[in-house]
Structure 1
Amino acid sequence: MNYQIEFRHLHYFRVLAEELHFRKAAERLFISQPGLTRQIKQMEEIYRTPLFERDKRNVKLTEAGIFLKQEVDLVFNQLNNIRTQIEKIAEGKITNLKLGFIGSAVQTILPELLAKLKVKQPLIDISLQELSNEIQLEMLVRNELDFGFVRTANYPSQIQTYPILTENFALVVPKGHPITTRKKVSLSDFKEESFILFSKQYSASYYDLVMSIFRDHQFEPKVALRTVNALSIFNLVSQGIGIAIVPSSLKKGYHADVEFIELTHIPQRTTLYLAWNKENRNHGIPFFTDILKEILQ
């Protein structure tokens, strides 16, 4: 057999791995279904192992197929990054940096960081996406993001982090709530209240940290709603649906009828990190981290 893996094989494999349906994949690729079947069979002969398990009703990836899908995704993401960088060079730019962030990053360092980067490195383009912590980490691993601003304690091995800000938590209550007149506030006073919290999708480790606050006060919160959006939390609190616990920095920049009570007496703190993939070769990364360190110093 003289077959060799070619780019088209990887492209066909990736589409079929996404669709898990030969007819739909063939239509998406604008080839015949028998033609797609032959290409996949060639790959399996070259690799000497099945990549898909199929019967009359179902198509699914084998263990080898799952591994190959992960690697092929990295290859295609890198090719997309190369294309983007070449386009930026053609436009006279140095590079493009893709940033993910959570809401509290906008209320702390991100605006100043972007302003300084624009002054010091005007030839670097920036793309921004507000995303949950977990999605940012997944995208960083795949090099779909260059940087993420995250709150989480658990990172994949290839992710490097730099601490930006460690802060207190704050209790969020409706404006005019009687508790705001007290000199000292205990979370135990809110055992019967409903809470609106960031969900585990925001960050599993952040969620566990917040739940540890309730455990320290010996009660399980009544959770009315879990969300990944800070503004949704504040709007619901202002309507009397419940109260919330959030990082203190979120009291800046949002205009909602709520009040913040900083929980300085509890041991729990939350840290905002800058995260990036150590294997990412975007040459704009050192520029960005140098400016961040300059601001923090």
Structure 2
Amino acid sequence: MNYQIELRHLHYFKVLAEELHFRRAAERLFIAQPGLSRQIKQLEDYYQAQLFERDKRKVSLTPAGQYLQMEVDLLFNQLGKIKEQVEKIEEGKLTSLKLGFIGSAVQTVLPELLVSLKHEQPLIDITLNELSNEFQLEMLLKNELDFGFVRMEKAFPPLKSIPVLTDHFSLVVPKDAKNKNIKKVDILDYQKESFILFSKDYSSSYYNLVMSIFYDHGFEPHVTLKTVNALSIFNLVSQGLGVAIVPSSLKKGYHTHVDFLDLSHLPQRTTLSLVWNEENRNPGLGLLLDIVKKMIK
């Protein structure tokens, strides 16, 4: 029998897929358990596929059910974004934007971008989230972020990217007047030091890039501490717990008792990129992209 599938069928499926228990799902939905079973049966008839495995002890998703759960989660996330955008437009606002960023973006492009956005659209709603590279990419794929500022070489569909800032590295050491006399840093002079680095959670590609600096000089560094926070790195270095290698732009905006020794003579460069999902239909995407492109020029 063919049924007209409505949004409520998918909502019932979503709740049952989360609970994997008919009684608990029915209680969440404020309907009788037989009614829930009937709705799920109609959905299975419509798709001509079994969505749940059922026995007396447990309920589990079939492979078809697992696929449908992913698609339904994306659908309801998109419906939530549509509701949010309609409400903002009704309030006279163009849109709302959710931006993810890593710490170095705050010291470089992000403040200028926010000023320009507010100038173009004074009523725009902006939510900022400081997140690791990997988590930003996950959220962008789910359309839970509109843009991300990440360090990466290349984005893969459906993600797109534009390079915003390419940076060389600096060696971070405890503050010492003698550092002013160093004209060109030799990394080999520091091979016996303990190193404090951004962890792979910050960005695996960035971590590998930094490690290539050591490999080019023929040694494996003694990495004693890893973190995803720049200020933590600087504080640890200032306390004599090690030295660090960071993008040079990070020396802006932090007031810590460390020196930054320039490593521009090394070939390694790191690029801060703006990343977005080309399937995202947020009406504010074009506005932000236009501003960023003008800033780059």
Could you tell me how far 1:34 is from its partner in structure 2?
5.7
- Structure 2 residue 88 is the aligned partner of structure 1 residue 88: yes
CA separation of 1:237/1:294 partners in 2, compared to 1, >3 Å: closer, same or farther? same
| Residue 106 (structure 1) shift | 0.8
Q: How does 1:70-81 map to 2 (within 5 A)?
A: 70-81=70-81
Inter-CA distance 40–116: structure 2 relative to 1 (3 Å threshold) = same
TM-score (norm 1): 0.88
Shift in Å at residue 112 of structure 1? Answer: 0.8
Conserved in 1, the CA contact under 8 Å of 2:185 and 2:262? no
Distance 2:140 2:171 in 1: 31
Which sections of structure 1, spanning at least 5 residues, go unmatched?
Answer: none
Change (3 A) 1:39 1:255: farther
Q: Which residue of 2 aligns with 1:194?
A: 194
1:24-103 matches, cutoff 5 A: 25-31=25-31, 36-53=36-53, 60-103=60-103
**Measured at CA, do residues 36 and 259 of structure 1 come closer, stay the same or move farther in structure 2, by a change above 3 Å?**
farther
**Offset at residue 147 of structure 1 (A):** 1.1
Shift in Å, 1:202: 1.6
The structure-2 alpha-carbon separation of the partners of 1:37 and 1:217, relative to structure 1 and needing over 3 Å to count, comes to: farther
Which moved further from structure 2: 221-230 or 281-290? 221-230
* Cα-to-partner distance string for 1:103-158 (whole Å, 9 max, x where unaligned): 11111111111111211222322221111111111111222111111111242311
Q: Say if 1:33 and 1:278 are closer, same or farther in 2 by CA, change over 3 A.
A: same
Residues 45-84 of structure 1, C-alpha deviation per residue, up to 9 Å, x if partnerless?
4323333456676655443333222221221121111111
Q: Is 1:150 aligned to residue 150 of structure 2?
A: yes
Which position in structure 2 is the counterpart of 1:294? 294
Q: Deviations over 1:235-267 (max 9, x none)?
A: 222222222221111111122222211211211
Distance 2:71 2:61 in 1: 14
Q: Secondary structure at the match of 1:281?
A: coil
Local SS of the residue matching 1:78: helix
Alignment-mate amino acid for residue 217 of structure 2: H
Question: Where does residue 131 of structure 2 map in the other structure?
Answer: 131
Q: Do the aligned partners of residues 183 and 23 (structure 1) sit closer, same or farther apart at CA in structure 2, a change above 3 Å counting?
A: farther
Quick one: structure 1 residues 31 and 225, their matched pair in 2 at CA, closer, same or farther if it must change by over 3 Å? farther
User: Could you tell me the percent identity over the aligned residues?
Assistant: 68
Which secondary structure state, in structure 2, belongs to the residue aligned with residue 220 of structure 1?
coil
- Residues 193-212 of structure 1 mapped to structure 2, 5 A cutoff: 193-212=193-212
Shift of 1:290: 1.2
Report the alpha carbon displacement of residue 28 of structure 1 after superposing the two structures with TM: 4.1
CA separation of 1:113/1:60 partners in 2, compared to 1, >3 Å: closer, same or farther? same
Alpha-carbon deviation of 1:171?
1.5
2:196 match: secondary structure: strand
| TM-fit CA distance, 1:181 | 4.7
RMSD: 2.5
Amino acid at match of 2:2: N
- Contact 2:154/2:161 (8 A) holds in 1: no
Gaps of 5+ in 2: none
Q: What is the TM-score with the length of structure 2 in the denominator?
A: 0.88
Distance apart, 1:166 and its partner CA: 0.4
Structure 1 residue 199: deviation in Å? 1.9
More displaced 10-residue stretch of structure 1: 45-54 or 17-26: 17-26
| Equivalent residue number for residue 185 of structure 2 | 185
What residue number does 2:12 align with? 12
**Across the two proteins, how many residue pairs are aligned to each other?**
297
Are 2:189 and 1:163 aligned? no
Q: Distance in 1 between matches of 2:57 and 2:180?
A: 61
* Alignment match, 1:280: 280
Is 2:2–2:45's contact at 8 Å kept on the other side of the alignment?
Answer: no
Cα deviations across residues 159-218 of structure 1 (Å, max 9, x unaligned)?
111111101011122223966653332222222222222222222211221222222122
SS at match of 1:83: helix
Corresponding residue of 2:111: 111
Q: Which has the larger radius of gyration?
A: 2
**Separation in 2 of the partners of 1:202 and 1:171?**
18
CA distance in 2, matches of 1:188, 1:51: 60
> Is the partner of 1:166 in helix, strand or coil?
strand
- Counterpart-to-counterpart distance in 2, 1:189 and 1:54: 66
